[in-house]
Amino acid sequence: MEQSSERGSATLMMTAGVLLIVLVGFLGLIGAGYLTAVRQARGAADLVALSGATAYQAGQDACAAARRIATTNKVTLTDCLVTGDTWDFVVTVSVRRPVRFDLPGLPTRVTAEARAGRLTTTEPAR
């Protein structure tokens, strides 16, 4: 009786398939982590900008209020700019949030920018 030369090939194929599934799952987990960080940074930037605009409208320091809200939401305020006057103004903020995964070659933080205020323009709405 001859022995088949294909003995054990199913084990090898099964191992390769499992490794491929694990790799795809790992990459999906990293991608989901980055998407979550981006969404959280955008939401925090919106909240920080709105808080700054509300404080400015109340006669307070917009950037101090924005910094306080950014710290509360675990993001770093990297830039704050108030343009305009007390009636027509815009508060522009930029925030940075760390990413949970620290892998070589991938960014360790994401940034987001938001604007809020009462600036009136003549441009049509989009």
The pTM assigned to this predicted structure is: 0.74
Average pLDDT, the chain: 85
Dihedral of the alpha carbons of 116, 69, 65, 41, in degrees to the nearest 10: -40
pLDDT of 121 reads 56
What CA–CA distance (Å, rounded) separates 15 from 56?
A: 61
1's tokens: 């009786």
Query: Where do the structural domains in the chain lie, given as residue ranges?
Result: 9-117
Tens of pLDDT, residue by residue over 90-108, are 888 999 888 887 778 888 8
Q: Is residue 5 over pLDDT 80?
A: no
What value does the mean pLDDT take over residues 39-50? 92
Work out the pLDDT band at 65, boundaries 50, 70, 90. very high
pLDDT of 43 reads 93
